[in-house]
Chain A
């Protein structure tokens, strides 16, 4: 009886509110933890940016880029062990929370959610991609991922007899990542806001860094989780998503295709409503915020599982408790936020 009460309490609870608290806690940890001598590690599956002086860890992307900035000989020798152990610890971190790292822990994602709140305050209309644009743009993150692997390798090796890429590219993705420019601002550090005129390469890359920062801020204002759509970390995570112990599972037989789940999705994934055959419903753009589970009125249609234990399920009662006052979902109209 007691167990059933706990399950009922969880299923009826407001996960979004819980998520907001967790996001703030992770933000403080990753942005200011370094000031308290906290060091979580250097292969984190989230944007803990070492350019921020208060960072308590390092995003795996920078470690991967440094590890790949090496010759083939070194990569396939003992030096390669650094890359393998780095990737191994990234995977170990990742499989625990799966893509919930994006929805709950990523400081850059939290900043985007705050910008969204700001937009709501200004009563500005938000933007959604149409289906074709969604499909095309979702491939951009894989392009970034491939480039951040190839460019560091190209700095130490010659591809097809071409000359090596300038070392000024350094960790190329970090130079354009908005995490480098935006997160230090929360520590009062403006030292990343510059154009570096040392060489043509540094000039181009630092200009792109500022350009992406502007796009990040403007884009996040008009489009929820704008940057997550292009994030190579998200692409890398998706490669290992299937072995994650935290899962989002769909029972297609219980789905009525009402579309609530896709309407509340910050990223705008429509497949979560359309796909009634897949059991594992975690898509590459999913950040496992579980808003879809909250918005589903069908009992057991969507479940969050941790090691095959249901920890949060969609229920009719929970849906009406959370959205009872919200006509946009209960009357099946298009939610305009």
Chain B
């Protein structure tokens, strides 16, 4: 207490500012997360879900539709704003097809919202990346947004599925990214559902990084942060953080999730004439998830239907056979007559 009495007013102010800074730094940094959203803004017109994975799409000429994804900023998934990238902003945008070919595309801006759209022709995952670079002080800030957009129609068949579903990485162009690890039985119908354990890997220049913080934010802003292990992996269990009455439960309702990670590395260099000593990477991966299948499927009722049908059928057959049984009667024929 004596210590506190001896502190001068100016020192109080300094300590207060220091404490406030410490508490605010993280949220302020978190607000800088940029991510791709499949959920259209409210004023978007003629948006229809496309394909098995319900990606937002718009109709084009000759009945061809294009997938459309918007750019958003912030970690409050319900309320983050759709953002506009100014024309003079230094950004890079990449879109890769499932066959690893770079698809000619540009990030477009209409009104106050930036988005990209493309004609989805190949079966498999299209990878979209946005890279934003900026030097502040002695640090180069690189912000990356990533999205894996799965295109599949059962009409196109299910050939070579295992080759198609595997994650594609572009470490020569994309310095930092989060990879969703595929499960062994994964096919083109895969959809993350609540209760699933999903493993993510944090990679810098294609190599896994230990001790990086990965944060998962779900639609209702439930969040969890985990440190990556030696292999750069973190496993998140998706929770169901929204509840409705049983009758209103819609298994087709897709909710957003956002996963982001940050890391600062001592890297000396020069960007656009500005020297820097550190590089701070922020990378995001956004996708959708659904309610767990167990919420709307019942094995118990299947068992009841099975047992009832079996009992009725077997009983019916035995009753039918029993009714057709004839009492043995010996008929003696008198051949003489």
* A252 close to chain B: CB less than 8 A: no
Closest to A194 in B: B297
**Contact status A210-B159, CB under 8 Å:** no
- Residue A33 at the B interface, CB < 8 A? no
Can you name the residue of chain B whose Cβ is closest to the Cβ of A189?
A: B185
Question: Which residues on B sit within 8 Å (CB–CB) of A217?
Answer: 310
Question: A297 at the A/B interface (Cβ < 8 Å)?
Answer: no
- Contact assessment for B296 and A218 in the assembled complex, using a CB-CB cutoff below 8 Å: no
Given the interface pairs A73-B63, A214-B309, the reply to whether A193 lies near B299 with Cβ below 8 Å is yes
Most buried by B among A73, A171, A211: A211
Which of A62, A190, A210 contacts B309 (CB under 8 A)?
A: A210
Count of chain A residues with a beta carbon within 8 Å of a chain B beta carbon = 37
User: Mask for B271-304, Cβ within 8 A of A = 1, else 0?
Assistant: 0000000000000000000000000111101110
B306 touches A39 (CB 8 A): no
> Known: A73-B63, A194-B299, A194-B302. Is A219-B155 also a contact (CB below 8 A)?
no
CB atoms of B296 and A214 under 8 A apart: no
**For the complex, is A66 an interface residue (Cβ under 8 Å from B)?**
yes
Known: A58-B157, A210-B309, A218-B314. A194 touches B185 (CB 8 A): no
Q: Which residues of A contact B268 (CB under 8 A)?
A: none
- Evaluate contact between A214 and B305: CB separation under 8 angstroms: yes
Report if A214-B313 is in contact (Cβ < 8 Å); known contacts: A63-B157, A195-B297: yes
Contact digits for B249-265, partner A, Cβ 8 Å, 1 yes 0 no? 01110000000000000
Choose among B159, B296, B298, B309 the residue that contacts A215 (Cβ–Cβ < 8 A). B309
| B297 and A207 form a contact (CB under 8 A) | no
B315-329 interface bits toward A, Cβ cutoff 8 Å, 1 = contact, 0 = none: 001000100000000
In angstroms, Cα B266 to Cα A192, docked, is 53
Cβ A39 vs Cβ B156 within 8 A:
no
> Which of chain B's residues has its CB closest to A219's CB?
B313
Query: How far, in angstroms, from A69 to B51 measured CA to CA in the complex?
Result: 13
Q: Which residue of the partner chain A has the closest CB to B307?
A: A214
**Cβ contact within 8 Å between B162 and A70:** no
In angstroms, Cα B156 to Cα A82, docked, is: 8
Instruction: Give Cα A171 to B153, complex, Å.
Output: 13
Most buried by B among A82, A193, A219: A193
The interface residues of chain B lying within 8 Å CB-to-CB of A12 are none
Q: Nearest chain-A residue to B313 (Cβ)?
A: A218
The answer, yes or no, to whether B158 is at the interface (CB within 8 Å) is yes
Shortest beta-carbon distance from B310 to chain A in Å: 5
Are B299 and A197 in contact, with the CB atoms below 8 A? no
B299 lies within 8 A of A214 (CB) = no
Which B134-170 residues have a C-beta within 8 angstroms of A? 153-160, 162
Interface residue from A198, A214, A222 paired with B306 (Cβ < 8 Å): A214
Asked if B317 and A222 sit within 8 Å, CB to CB, the answer is yes
Whether B159 contacts A39 by the Cβ 8 Å rule is: yes
Residues of chain B touching chain A, judged by Cβ–Cβ distance below 8 Å, are: 63, 153-160, 162, 185, 250-252, 296-299, 301-303, 305-306, 309-310, 313-314, 317, 321
Task: List 17 A–B pairs whose Cβ atoms lie within 8 Å, in order of A's numbering.
Answer: A39-B160, A42-B158, A66-B153, A79-B155, A82-B156, A190-B299, A193-B299, A193-B303, A193-B306, A194-B302, A195-B302, A207-B305, A214-B309, A214-B310, A214-B313, A215-B309, A218-B313
A42-B158, A194-B297, A211-B309 are known; give 9 further A-B pairs, CB within 8 A: A37-B162, A39-B160, A66-B155, A82-B155, A82-B156, A171-B154, A196-B297, A213-B306, A215-B313
The 5 closest A-B pairs by CB, nearest first: A214-B309, A194-B297, A195-B301, A66-B154, A210-B305
